[in-house]
Amino acid sequence: MKRRRLLRPLPILLTLMLALAALGAGTPADAQWRQPRMHGFASAAIQGFGDRQNSIAWAMTWWNGYLYVGTGRAVQCVQVATISRFYPIITYPPLEPGLDCADTPETLPLRAEIWRWSPLTDQWQMVFQSPEDVPIPGHPGKYVARDIGFRSFLVYTEPDGSEVLYAAGVSARSMYAEGNTMAPPRLLRSSDGLNFSAVPQDPGTELGDTEANGFRTLLTLNGKLYAVASVGLLGQGFLYVSDNPAAGNASFRRATPPEMTVYEATIFNQQLYVGTGSKDDPFALVRSPAIGEPPYAFSAVIPPGGNLANRPSHAVVALHEFKGQLYVGTDRPAELYRVSSDDRWELIVGAPRWSDGRRLRPLSGMDAGFDWPFNIHMWRMVTFEDQLYVGTMDQTTHWSSLIIIGRLLRPHAGFDLYRSDNGTRFTMLTRDGFGDKYNVGVRNFAVTPAGLFMGSANHYYGFQLWRKSAVTAAAAPPVAPPVAPISEAGARIYLPLLADSSSSSPILFAQQTADGVALQWQPVRAAAGYRIFRAELTPQTLPLPSADTPLLLGDPETVWLPGEFVAVADSGATTYLDRTTTPNGRYHYYVAPLDASGTLGEQSNLVAVPGL
C-alpha cells in the first residue's frame, strides 16, 4: 500500500479532541431529533441484518428473482487499524464516539456475508459467510476472515451461455501485510445464488500472485469481465480483464498500463471509461475501445482535475449513465461532471474555474458537495423512473460531537440524497441521512422489479436498507397556463416558464434583484397553494476534508455553510418576492405545494441564490 500524507498539526489536535467529545456523545435516538421526510423510501431490512458490524451495504444487485446484498465488515475499524500501522499517533481502537471496535484488530469480527431477499416471501436469507481461516502474521493461533467485505456484484454470461453471479471480495491484507504475504482477495462465483466458490488462484499465476488487497467494480464489455483491483487502502489500483473468468489464474491480465492508477470504471457508448488519479496526480477521465491485446491504449476525456487549479480531486468514485450522458462523481472535493457521447464535458456541481480559455461554471449553480463542503464523495448514482438519484458520503458525523465546531455541523450530519429530472436541477431529498446522523453515506442502489433499493454506510450501528416502490403516473388533467413574470415595485424579471405536464412537484427558478430574491415556479395540478422555504448560508472558516487527509481534517478554509430551512411565506400564486434578504447574502430555496388540508406535497428543486 502506498503511504499517503495523512497528518498535519491541526488534524492531530482534532483527533485527540474526539476523546473529549465522547463524554457527551449521543445515541442513535439523538439522531431522531425530527421526523424525516422519506419521499417514498421505506425500511427494507433490519439494520445491519441484526449485526452492527455489517457497516456497509457494499454490493447490491438483482438476479434471478432475488436481491443480493454483500456486506462490508467493521470497515471504519479496519481503516483506522490499517492507518495506525503506519502512523502510530492514530490510535486503535479509535476514540470516535459510537464506534464499536474490538480491543485489538486481531479480534475484529470480519466474516463478510452475502444475503438475498425474495419478493415472494419478503424474507432475507444469508447465503454465504466467509470462512475465518487466514493466519494472522505475528499472531500464532489467530485467524482472520478470507473475505472481510464484498464490494461489487456482476451478473455475467459465460462463454457457454450460462448466467452466473460474481462477487468481488476484499481481503485483510491492508491491516497486516504488504504485497502478497497473505492470502489474496477472491472473486467468488455462483450459478444458483446459494453456493459460492472462488475462481482458481494458483501461486505463480497473475491472479494467484496479485498484489491487490481487494476487488471493487466489476464490469462486462464484449463478453469480457473487467475488475478494478485495489492496491491501496482507499481503493486505488489497476484494472484486470478476462474472457474466461471462471478459469481464474492466468486468464486475468492487466487491462491498464503500469503507470495508470485506477479508482473507478464503467461502460459508456460501448467503450471502457476509466477514472484515474493518485495522491500525487489529480483525477482524469480516459476511455478506450478495449480492442486488441491488453494493456489497452486510452484517450483523454476530462483533463486532470477538471482544470481546477486549487485543491483538485484525486479520484473518481462514481460513474453512471443518465439519458445518454455519463455522469462523473469525484472525491474531495465532491464534484459532478457530465460527458456527452462525443466526449464534450460540462461541470454540474463544483467551483467555477477557467478551462481552455473559457469561464466554466456549474450548471446547477452549486459548489462542491451540493454547497456542503463536508460531503466528500459523490458516492453513488442510479436512474429510477427516468430520474437521476445522487447520494453522497458526508464526513460531518465524524466531527459533529466536537465542542468547537460541532454546533455548526450537527444539523447536517448524515448523507445527502438528491434527485434530478434533467441532470442539472436537483431536488433535495435529505441532508441528514433520513434523520439518522450515523448514516454517513449512500453506498449502493439497485433497480429491481420490486422498486428501487438503497443501502447506506453506517459504521456505528450497521447499515440501513430502504425500498422505494415504483409509481405509475396517472394522466394529468389540464392546468392553467403559466402566469406572467413577476412585476412588482420595479423588480420586474423574466424567468423561464414551463407548461405543466404531469409533474407532482414544482420546478423552481430564482433571480436576485435590487429589491430581493424573485422566485417563480411551474404550477402543480390540484395545488391549493405553495409554501416557500429558505436556508441562509453563512461564511465560516473551518478545517475541511481534503485529498491529503482522507480520514481527518485539513487546513482551515472559508466556506459557506447552509443553515436550517425555515418557511418564509405561503403563496396562492406561483411567484414570490422575498424582500427579507441581504444584498451580499447567499440562500437556498425550495417550494412545496399545499393541498386543501394544508398537507405538503413533493418539494421543488433546490435553487442557490446567487448561483455560482
Cβ contacts of 454 within 8 Å, gap of 6 or more: 41, 389, 391, 417, 442, 444, 445, 465, 466, 467, 468
pLDDT of residue 69: 98
Each residue's pLDDT tens digit, 133-177: 999 988 999 999 999 999 999 999 998 999 999 999 999 998 987
Each residue's pLDDT tens digit, 356-409: 899 999 999 999 999 999 999 999 999 999 999 999 999 999 888 777 778 878
How far, in Å, CA of 240 to CA of 218, rounded? 10
Residue 27 pLDDT > 80: no
Residue 533 pLDDT > 50: yes
**b/e code 96-114 from CB counts within 10 Å (16+ = b):** bbbbebbeebeebebbbbb
Lowest-confidence region among 93-97, 379-383, 457-461, 526-530: 93-97
Decide if 199 contacts 189 (C-beta within 8 A). yes
Each residue's pLDDT tens digit, 260-309: 999 999 999 999 999 999 888 999 999 999 999 999 999 999 999 999 99
For residue 565, give the nearest of 591, 599, 536 by alpha carbon. Answer: 536
Report which listed range, 2-11, 509-518, 542-551, is most confident: 509-518
**b/e code 471-508 from CB counts within 10 Å (16+ = b):** eeeeeeeebeebeeebeeeebebeeebeebeebebbbb
Decide if 239 contacts 274 (C-beta within 8 A). yes
Let me know if 244 is exposed, middle or buried by CB neighbors in 10 A (0-12, 13-18, 19+): middle
- What's the predicted TM-score (pTM) here? 0.91
Each residue's pLDDT tens digit, 430-446: 999 999 999 999 999 99
The bridge status of strand 375-384 relative to strand 387-394 is antiparallel
> What are the φ and ψ backbone dihedral angles of 501, each rounded to 5 degrees?
-105, -105
Each residue's pLDDT tens digit, 197-212: 999 999 999 999 999 9
pLDDT of residue 553: 65
How far, in Å, CA of 78 to CA of 71, rounded? 14
pLDDT of residue 571: 95
How far, in Å, CA of 102 to CA of 585, rounded? 47
pLDDT of residue 312: 95
Q: How far does CA 487 lie from the centroid of its chain?
A: 42
- Read off the amino acid at residue 46: I
Residue 7 pLDDT > 70: no
Lowest-confidence region among 56-65, 86-95, 174-183: 174-183
Encode 140-172 in three state secondary structure.
Answer: CCCEECCCCEEEEEEEEECCCCCEEEEEEEECC
- Check residues 173 and 484 and name the one with the higher pLDDT: 173
Mean pLDDT of the chain: 88
pLDDT of residue 556: 77
- Check residues 409 and 581 and name the one with the higher pLDDT: 581
Residue 83 pLDDT > 60: yes
pLDDT of residue 22: 38
Domains of the chain: 9-468 (2.130.10.10), 508-609 (2.60.40.10)
How far, in Å, CA of 271 to CA of 252, rounded? 19
Residue 610 pLDDT > 90: yes
Q: What does the pLDDT average to over 416-440? A: 96
Lowest-confidence region among 6-20, 25-39, 411-425, 481-495: 6-20
Each residue's pLDDT tens digit, 322-336: 999 999 999 999 999
The percentage of the chain sitting over the pLDDT mark of 70, rounded to a whole number, equals 87
Q: What does the pLDDT average to over 320-349? A: 97
Lowest-confidence region among 13-17, 535-539, 603-607: 13-17
Lowest-confidence region among 29-33, 106-110, 317-321, 504-508: 29-33
How far, in Å, CA of 320 to CA of 175, rounded? 31
In the numeric block, the cell 486488441 is attached to 292
Residue 569 pLDDT > 90: yes
How far, in Å, CA of 10 to CA of 352, rounded? 28
Residue 21 pLDDT > 50: no
How far, in Å, CA of 389 to CA of 496, rounded? 24
pLDDT of residue 494: 45
pLDDT of residue 472: 54
How far, in Å, CA of 235 to CA of 228, rounded? 9
How far, in Å, CA of 284 to CA of 503, rounded? 37
The percentage of the chain sitting over the pLDDT mark of 90, rounded to a whole number, equals 74
